[in-house]
Amino acid sequence: MIAKSKDIELLDEHAIEISLPNKFGYERIAMECSASFARIVGFLPERIDDLKTAVAEACLNAMEHGNKHHPGTRVVVNMKYRDNVFSITVMDHGDGIQELPDYIENPDINKKIENLQTPRGLGLFLIKQLVDQVEFNQMTDEGHMVRMVLKLTG
């Protein structure tokens, strides 16, 4: 569900939806909102930092790759907390991730430093390392969705 009239909407006490302009810098709103929500439900500061980084990377990818920097598009972030599980979806208007090159799946920092691999492509790798579960290429009526899960315990 994409919010039409509000940029931040409390869906119920366990769910929040944010609709962001497709412009770099606005991912910080999603970062801070997710961090505040995670603090309220009892996440530790280290996990909140992981969450913020994963949310920022997913939003930036949605803006750049999904929405292709089109100013009229939006990125919608949904956050839900139930049964000690914090789930976040980030939706854009793109076609999803086609095939991931190996340097994204298995980046080599030394090769990146030596310019043997593109310095880009760490976002998906970081997301995979920081969350308990991630699903790419979830398609909705509006476009592409990434779903990330962090567990409070475990």
Question: Average pLDDT of 82-95?
Answer: 94
Percent of the chain with pLDDT over 70: 87
Note the pLDDT of residue 36: 96
Largest CA distance in the chain: 49
CATH of domain 8-151: 3.30.565.10
pLDDT tens for residues 125-146? 889 999 999 998 788 888 899 9
pLDDT tens for residues 12-59? 778 999 999 999 999 999 999 999 999 999 999 999 999 999 999 999
